[in-house]
Structure 1
Amino acid sequence: MSDFNHEFLEIADIVPAFVPVDMQTGTNNGIWIAMKNVTRLVCVLFKAAGTVGDNPVITLQQATGNAGAGAKALPFTRARTKIGPIASTPQWSIATQSAANTYTPTSAASQAMIAVEVQATDLDLTNGYAFVQLSIPDTGTNAQLGAAFYIAYGLRYPQNITPSSLT
């Protein structure tokens, strides 16, 4: 079945990880997202300009339950970024790294969108890991507004109302 015959929200789900906050006020933990009904998840940070040196650290974890049971690192090798004035930064750049569960763009002083995509098969499925969380530790001593969201897609069974990505 082709996804071209479906509306986007029949084959995908958009879920807030955390609402806009001042990211310098402690760890900003996203909610846990279930990967059991989807094949891919894009974790996106959308942020305002901050202060040089207060770079956000994108952190991904995996767990066996939606409350974070058995949480451990979820390594990834690529991140996509749009760093600069959002209205005039049309293309994504690709950053590659050795496998790690964190990525630190040098974007503190700029507006930015940073996205990391994972596949369900990247999780430790053998040991029951089926949930993903994006978090951003405290960014430093100066204010920096940000919000994060997930785009879960590759829905195994397209339908008018997508199943919850939370359970």
Structure 2
Amino acid sequence: MTLYVDADACPVKAEAERVATRNKLPMKLVCNGGLRPSQNPLVELVIVDAGPDEADKWIADHAGKGDVVVTSDMPLAAKCVASGARVLRHNGERLTQANIGAQLAMRDLMTDIRAADPFAQGSGKGFTKADRSRFLDALEREIRAAERES
């Protein structure tokens, strides 16, 4: 079992590392660069080639049943869910076979709305302490569930 984090613009890297360390779980931070490597021996920084979705492709190719993936990228989440991995968003929301289709549809709808009105950008809410707390709780639950599965 491995914890994979889509690390580019991830607001919960430190929290994920803390949970991985507590559970003695290997963790891979996957990004295009620009992150400082962790001194934690359980945490590996994986730097992929520059380019769109390279980190996502790497995670999708490596994550599978029994692994936990942290991402808010819906196409990546869909691939990971299909491969049997457990997937969490940064706010602690679990993505599953039951809800990933609706999440992909909402992503596509929002992309269309932004394309239709380029001035309606950035109206999303900020990342809160409550989101961080929900993430920590959800990640602990997902790791325990993944351990039970394997």
Give the structure-1-normalised TM-score. Answer: 0.26
Determine which structure has greater relative contact order: mean sequence separation of CA pairs < 8 Å that are 6+ residues apart, divided by chain length: 1
Normalized per residue, the structure richer in strand is 1
